[in-house]
Structure 1
Amino acid sequence: MAHKAIILGTGPSGLTAAVYLARANMEPLVIEGPEPGGQLTLTTEVENYPGFPDGIMGPELMDNMKKQAQRFGAKFERGWVTDVDTSERPFKLSVDGLGELKAETVIVSTGASAKMLGIPGEKENMGKGVSTCATCDGFFFRDKKVLIIGGGDSAMEESNFLTKFASEVNVVHRRHELRASKIMQDRAKNNEKITWSLNKTPVEVISDGMKVSGLKVKDNDTGEEEVIEADGIFIAIGHNPNTEFLKGQVDTDENGYIQVTPGTTNTNIPGLFACGDVQDNKYRQAVTAAGTGCMAAMDAEKYLEGEVTIDWSQNLSS
């Protein structure tokens, strides 16, 4: 028996879609991956999500969203989607731990994973001074010294943004030359709060176990190592949208982000919708992800009601 809707991913977009579809009596099945809650579970306090004047912990916000969806009838299963067959209806999904599932509509909200350096101390200190989102966490470093690791446009943009809060922003890049566009480089170089540590390779994040105190780097010319003191380290070397399981069936841009029809969450495959960071390489915020999750649910509901003939009296929960 086919489900009316299967949602892949449990970040703000997937959980918002689940709330909307569950309230519409669509009985959505939500597949949780290995990191339920998405990137917000890697952060500590969230202060820029509307409705929480005193802030809220990232994991708590995600848990609340899940409970809200469950309250209206959304079902959750833990699994790992390895393949989606879009060649026929209903769609067929291969899910490790669950076997084969069928769905009339699929909402892809698998997000994008920040590229990491893979150095000691990096993963352990996420939320303790290491961050991949300046917009999310910059406020916590008011009058502090921070590092930005990266040399592209996003690194320059985040460097300028962080100067609104930090006393000094030091850009660490492993080459002499930056990859960023000239206009972004000029903007950063003209900012007196930004300093530069070029041609230096990050080696290790230094911390006392509670908070970050600096970054050990190696000079690529001399091989000498030093520790650059900092209260926070922002990694800005790009993101990878989590779309491998689609195996090229869906149109994407040159960076792998799913392309949707502007103003909708429609992909090139009818009945397959994309929301959240998996189709957004610009904003990447919890609130914008949640907004597109609402859109995806409404788009899926319209698709089901207008283009798919279903016997609504059947129990489609299995």
Structure 2
Amino acid sequence: MEKFYDLIIVGGGPAGLSAAIYAGRSERQTLLLEKGSYGGRINDTYEVRNYPGTVVDSGQHLMERFHEHALSHPTVELKRTTVTGIKKEEDLFTVSTKRRGDFLARSVVLDLGTKPRELGIEGEKEFTGHGVAYCATCDAEFFKGKEIYVLGSGDQAVEEADYLTGFASKVSIIVLHEEGHLDCNEVAAEHAYKNPKIEFVWNTTVAAIKGNDHVESLVLKRVDTGEEREVPSEGLFLFVGMVPQTDLVRDLVTCDHSGYIQVNEKMETSLPGLYAVGDCTQTFLRQVVTSAANGAVAAVASERYVKELNQIQGILSEDSGNIVFLFYNPYRNEEIEKAGELEQQLSGQWKVYRQDITRQSLLYQNLGVEQTVSAAFYRDGKLIEVKPADDCLSMISC
């Protein structure tokens, strides 16, 4: 039999672990599912210097602290498995996994993360793991004393190239732009320019990767002239952006053209009860500090969602009689007055529940109501009609 949870978190990156910590603080029965290592891609970061309260730490150690904090709450469970599907029937989510069966919850938080973008360069897939790499921290030691190349000019590319010089004898950074134009921050650029083991190849991209069992050479192409030349190389690191791992939920939620999940300030997706956090969302900044904040927001928002859902279901039963939910905005004085008048006029035949849409928005959103003051009329748990304020008095005679 499936086990029921208050909250299921899919993905154990900084955002997912933060959500687990906040849910644990509220003593909610919480399950976090992670297919890989807890902490996600930040485990590959050699140094973290921008997390408040942490002057310097490794990404891996910082995530170990997140992990320990989450586990310190007795209502939080962490399991290693691959999630294969998520569906919602009525107000209940089913999260299916590859090896551990199905789990049920009233709310779900998605921390799906990203993966390195593949460019489709000739030889890229063939030599992945055999000289083509996407993670400096993971693979740097395999290139000790070798001459290698890095493709990309953003923060990740330039900072990882600097890290690689601690292992490789020479690192050449291939830059698509003209000389002096890097996409990284000024501090990283200045540091790279001063590193004697780094050189730049400007106005260039990679046309092909060649070798036998391992990378042996690269075909470089000038973007301004189209001229190609083959250079010897024992490795190529690709740092040209990330893509969201959101294929699992593309049919469930609204995503942008790149596949990032669209969320609001509460981390709510387009499906009520389903939240998304961290790098898989359409967000301005993808850092551990913002991911942790996302997780905290989603955990609190999902708790309020479940409480409101339980409240509504407790009100609406098969023998609940005549019920009306009155939607209004408390920041508009005229709406407060109008809602008060309607409550008095309807209360003779209807039991009235006021809904402050700034705090109790679930039913308002689920019904697709677009204006206030308005009301949803129910009889014995079943919706009869949604009416604007001016038409509500017609329900008194019913």
> Of 212, 226, 235, which residue of structure 1 is paired with 2:231?
226
Whose Rg is larger?
2
Match of 1:82 among 74, 78, 84: 84
2:52 maps to 50
Of residues 97, 100, 124, the one that matches 1:98 is 100
Give the number of the structure with larger relative contact order, counting CA–CA contacts within 8 Å between residues 6 or more apart. Answer: 1
Residues 218, 146 of structure 1: alpha-carbon distance in 2 compared, 3 angstrom cutoff: closer
Counterpart-to-counterpart distance in 2, 1:287 and 1:137: 21
TM-score, normalised to structure 2, is 0.59
1:28 equivalenced with 2:22 (yes/no): no
Question: In the alignment, which residue of structure 2 is the partner of 1:67?
Answer: 68
In structure 1, runs of 5+ residues without a counterpart are 170-192, 206-214, 312-318
- 2:327 is matched with none
Contact 1:84 1:93 in 2 (8 A): yes
Matched to 2:64, the amino acid is D
Distance in 2 between residues matched to 1:140 and 1:224, nearest whole Å: 22
Counterpart of 1:166 (choices 182, 192, 198) is 192
Aligned partner of 2:254 in structure 1 is 251
Contact 1:250 1:258 in 2 (8 A): yes
* Larger CA deviation: 44-53 vs 265-274: 44-53
1:105-157 alpha-carbon deviations (Å, 9 max, x no partner): 00001111122454433438622397997269739939x87625667xxx953
Q: Which amino acid aligns with 1:51?
A: G
Partner of 1:10: 12
Distance change in 2, residues 1:115/1:124 (3 Å): closer
The verdict on how the C-alpha distance between 1:58 and 1:86 changes in structure 2, with shifts beyond 3 A counting, is: same
**Partner SS for 2:297:** helix
Secondary structure, aligned partner of 1:76? strand
Aligned AA (2:192) = A
1:138 aligns with 2:159: yes
Report the CA distance shift for 1:35/1:234 in structure 2 as closer, same or farther (over 3 A). same
- Answer whether contact 1:159 1:194 (CA < 8 A) is retained: no
- Of 291, 294, 297, 1:292 maps to 294
Q: Which piece of structure 1 moves more, 155-164 or 242-251?
A: 155-164
Alignment RMSD, CA only? 3.7
- Asked if residue 157 in structure 1 is aligned to residue 183 in structure 2, the reply is yes
Structure 2: tracts of 5 or more residues without a match = 119-123, 142-149, 166-170, 315-398
Provide the rounded CA distance (Å) in 2 between the counterparts of 1:270 and 1:99: 24
Q: 1:195 deviation in Å?
A: 5.5
Rounded Cα–Cα distance in structure 2 between residues aligned with 1:32 and 1:14: 9
Shift of 1:303: 0.8
Is 1:8–1:32's contact at 8 Å kept on the other side of the alignment? yes
TM-superposed CA distance for 1:302, in Å, is 1.2
Aligned residue for 1:167, secondary structure, equals: helix
> What residue in structure 2 maps to residue 184 of structure 1?
none
Instruction: Measure the CA separation in 2 of the matches of 1:204 and 1:300.
Output: 51
**Where do residues 188-207 of structure 1 align in structure 2 (5 Å cutoff)?**
196-201=202-207, 203=209
Q: CA separation of 1:39/1:95 partners in 2, compared to 1, >3 Å: closer, same or farther?
A: same
Tell me the matched-pair count.
272
Of the candidates 127, 130, 133, which is equivalent to residue 123 of structure 1?
Answer: 133
Match of 2:218 in 1: 217
CA distance in 2, matches of 1:160, 1:62: 27
User: If the length of structure 1 is used for normalisation, what is the TM-score?
Assistant: 0.72
Separation in 1 of the partners of 2:217 and 2:186? Answer: 23
CA distance in 1, matches of 2:11, 2:151: 21
Confirm or deny that 1:240 pairs with 2:243: yes
Give me the whole-angstrom Cα distance separating, in 2, the residues matched to 1:248 and 1:229: 42
Between stretches 220-229 and 95-104, larger displacement belongs to 220-229
Mapped to 1, the partners of 2:44 and 2:189 lie a distance apart of 23
Partner AA of 1:64 in structure 2: R
In the alignment, the residues of structure 1 paired with residue 267 and residue 59 of structure 2 have an alpha-carbon distance, to the nearest angstrom, of 25
Q: Which moved more, 1:299-308 or 1:250-259?
A: 299-308
Structure 1 pair 248–148 and aligned structure 2 pair: CA distance change class (3 A): farther
- 2:42 corresponds to which of 13, 36, 40: 40
In terms of mean alpha carbon deviation, does 299-308 or 278-287 score higher?
278-287
Q: Which residue identity lines up with residue 72 of structure 1 in the other structure?
A: H
